[in-house]
Amino acid sequence: MSTSASSKTPNETGAKLLVGIHSPADIKALPEDDLPQLAQEVRDELIKVLSQTGGHLGPNLGVVELTIALHRVFTTPKDKLVFDVSHQGYVHKMFTGRLDRIHTMRQYQGLNGFLLRTESEHDAYGAGHAGTALSAGLGMAVGRDLLGADANVVVVAGDAALTCGISYEALNNVKAQTKRFIVVLNDNEWSIAKNVGAIAAYLNNIVTNPTYAHLHEKAGRFIKAIAGRGILHLAHKVEEGFKNLLVPSVIFEELGLRYYGPIDGHDIPLLTRTFEFLKRQDEPVLLHILTKKGKGYEPAIAKPDKFHGLGKFTAETGETVAATTPTYSEILGKTLGKFADTNRKIVAITGAMPSGTGLGFFQAQHPDRYYDVGIAEEHAALFACGLATQGLKPFLTIYSTFMQRAYDMIIHDIALQNLNVALCMDRAGLSGDDGPTHHGLFDIGYLRPVPNIIHMQPKDEDEFVDMLWTMANHHSGPIAIRYPRGAGTGAKPKATPKLLEIGKAEVVQHGKDVAIFGLGNMFEMAQEAAQKLEAQGISVALINPRWIKPLDTGTMEFFARSVQVLCTLEDHVLHNGFGCGVMEHLATQRISTPVVRIGWPDQFIEHGTIPILREKHGLTSDALVEKVLPLLKKPSAGVRPSAA
């Protein structure tokens, strides 16, 4: 296993330090000289555990020393540590009484991969989306002030959070609303992909300027040596003067936060002394620290995008098992790249996720028509609108859970103006071990009531390519597609895709007793249920709906009038989902055929493997059969299904 060069020989007794950490008080009690060894043990444990469970390895390896220093200086749960995104909170979990459960990370009924208020009193705020910490932390600070309390509020935000507009909305209000507020800017140059845009360049300019580099080194020595407030105040004033010479306007100071740094985010004594000083300040402050994503593990340093979040891997080498079946994301990136070879109007947009969305393949083929806007979904949607007004065909490729952040733009800008924007919603449906912050279970509901939008979902990879081709050739308004995480059925796409008739379902087989509409990746389950019903002599019609909006109302009405029970299956919440749309339409036509709906209940679904969660919440073929049988009268004996 590749480990950090800074690893320390175990203490003379051979005792392990990490196993003795049961609460933050144990970290405070350790001699400072033991802290590098603790950091190494934490890294070793992270690599060992996550190689078996998967998870966000790179971000957590990068914040080991920072988390140690935070718990040395601050006292949770009284003091509030707010981690932006919170995927870098694994070390914090180890230090707050959850070390014995760290091996359950992202496993069903185990620890969540993000911070969770219901999991521990030490988790001040739960999140899974970037850019939320500054606003939430400011709310905590103002609440503390109103209640006359004295807790410290520390927000840890990566530099990627500064690509989120909401972060600036918070910064705009800090100085006017509180005097005691600490922001730690964890600068590692990466979100998931390498950070892009002017802010990343701005921070890099601060870090790499030779004169300023000398200055912050000098300031760091001052901080280490301080015996009182006065000398550090002097150090800051000296530093500020140089900054004014080098950078006409340090943006954080202009926004009202006293800026300190940048300093080494892996130097525990320096971090500790700096935090001791900062918590005594009677003004909002921002500490800029420099860290290395994946520190201490060479494979994660070499491939920080891969090791941001991954499945199981071989700890010694960092190798993962190569998938034999391409994922929907990979197919999207390669397919759009192929389409763009002959269609110059196709452009692709992502929000800091070129690898996750598969657009890295498109980027390699067409770098001039690929745009990574950072973690800025609202801007991405509006940017797509502008491109569409110029006659281009933008494919806005964002996870379903993150597309929620651009909902106003979808309604107010894309749909209202009927712009030719293609919405590609990756990770639609359950996202398994990522948990409730990442499940894409709401996009049917939030798009279904919006006028002008076409929405669809493929049953397999071949149909997925046909749908992408249909989207590329659709020129009369917005069109959306949802598709699941990972691989599909293994159906190989045809050499030449075909245009699909919008609003026309695929009738796979006819039947007279039950009609099952299996949407998208639930079509396989519909087939399983059909086989189980047919084994009991029940005649089953099997339909691949394809279209969520517009619904194929003709096919729906035909079967609703022909069978005893109609069923819908969807990887989405039942409220305002596909099945709900079916029931609404049948009600308007006064068709009273019973409708059995299979989908997710009205609650936030926990993390775990998809088979376990489907079994628990009743999304199985057996559950469908159990619901259908009591509604059937005498089946149409001897009637066998026939292909359409």
Tokens of 390: 């110029």
Query: Looking at 43, 393, 405, 614, which residue is catalytic?
Result: 405
Residue 518's pLDDT band (boundaries 50, 70, 90)? very high
> 197 vs 299, which has greater pLDDT?
299
**C-beta separation of 452 from 415 below 8 A:** yes
pTM of the full structure: 0.89
CATH number of 328-482: 3.40.50.970
- The yes-or-no answer on residue 405 being catalytic is yes
Residue whose tokens read 């919603």:
425
Residue 641 has pLDDT above 80, yes or no: no
Task: Identify the H or E element spanning 565.
Answer: strand 565-573
What is the mean pLDDT of the segment spanning 399-422?
A: 98
Residue whose tokens read 């800029």:
288
- The yes-or-no answer on residue 606 being catalytic is no
What is the mean pLDDT of the segment spanning 214-218?
A: 50
What is the mean pLDDT of the segment spanning 376-383?
A: 97
C-alpha–C-alpha distance, residues 56 and 90, integer Å: 8
Query: Looking at 65, 239, 377, 461, which residue is catalytic?
Result: 377
b/e sequence 502-518, b meaning 16+ C-beta within 10 Å: bbebbbbbbbbbbbbbb
Task: Identify the H or E element spanning 348.
Answer: strand 346-350
Residue 13 has pLDDT above 50, yes or no: no
- pLDDT for res 4: 40
C-alpha–C-alpha distance, residues 396 and 383, integer Å: 9
Residue 219's pLDDT band (boundaries 50, 70, 90)? low
- pLDDT for res 361: 97
**C-beta separation of 441 from 405 below 8 A:** no
C-alpha–C-alpha distance, residues 55 and 87, integer Å: 9
Reduce the DSSP state of residue 509 to 3 states and report it: strand
- Among 227-236, 337-346, 550-559, name the one with the lowest average pLDDT: 227-236
Contacts of 262 (CB under 8 A, 6+ apart): 187, 206, 207, 216, 288, 289, 290
Q: Does domain 506-643 have CATH number 1.20.1050.10?
A: no
**C-beta separation of 131 from 164 below 8 A:** yes
Reduce the DSSP state of residue 540 to 3 states and report it: strand
C-alpha–C-alpha distance, residues 80 and 122, integer Å: 8
Give percent of the chain with pLDDT exceeding 70: 86
**Inter-axis angle of helices 461-472 and 328-342, nearest 10:** 40
- CATH superfamily, domain at 56-293: Thiamin diphosphate (ThDP)-binding fold, Pyr/PP domains (3.40.50.970)
C-alpha–C-alpha distance, residues 527 and 540, integer Å: 10
C-alpha–C-alpha distance, residues 583 and 576, integer Å: 10
The CB density around residue 590, as the number of other CB atoms within 10 Å, is 6
Tokens of 329: 């994301």
Angle at 356 between CA 301 and CA 452, to 5 degrees: 155
Residue 583 has pLDDT above 50, yes or no: yes
- pLDDT for res 123: 97
Residue 636's pLDDT band (boundaries 50, 70, 90)? low
CATH 3.40.50.970 in the chain, residues?
56-293, 328-482
Query: Looking at 293, 369, 459, 597, which residue is catalytic?
Result: 293
Residue 263 dihedral angles phi and psi, to the nearest 5° = -125, 165
Q: Provide the residue count of the chain.
A: 644
DSSP 8-class letter at 412: I
Contacts of 150 (CB under 8 A, 6+ apart): 144
Reduce the DSSP state of residue 483 to 3 states and report it: coil
CATH 3.40.50.920 in the chain, residues?
506-643
- Among 257-271, 315-329, 477-491, 519-533, name the one with the lowest average pLDDT: 315-329
Residue 408: Cβ-neighbour burial (10 angstroms; 0-12, 13-18, 19+)? exposed
- The yes-or-no answer on residue 179 being catalytic is no
- pLDDT for res 237: 46
**C-beta separation of 356 from 330 below 8 A:** no
Residue 452: Cβ-neighbour burial (10 angstroms; 0-12, 13-18, 19+)? middle
> 95 vs 203, which has greater pLDDT?
95
Reduce the DSSP state of residue 395 to 3 states and report it: strand
Residue 458's Cβ-side half-sphere holds a number of Cα atoms within 13 Å equal to: 30
- pLDDT for res 562: 97
Residue 229 has pLDDT above 50, yes or no: no
- pLDDT for res 207: 62
- pLDDT for res 194: 54
Q: Average pLDDT, whole number, for the chain?
A: 89
Residue 468 dihedral angles phi and psi, to the nearest 5° = -65, -40
The CB density around residue 592, as the number of other CB atoms within 10 Å, is 9
C-alpha–C-alpha distance, residues 181 and 11, integer Å: 38
Among 123, 70, 113, which residue's Cα sits nearest to residue 90? 113
Distance, CA of 575 to chain centre: 23
C-alpha–C-alpha distance, residues 472 and 516, integer Å: 30
Reduce the DSSP state of residue 236 to 3 states and report it: helix
Q: For residue range 19-76, what is the model confidence (pLDDT) as tens digits?
A: 999 999 999 999 999 999 999 999 999 999 999 988 888 889 999 999 999 999 999 9
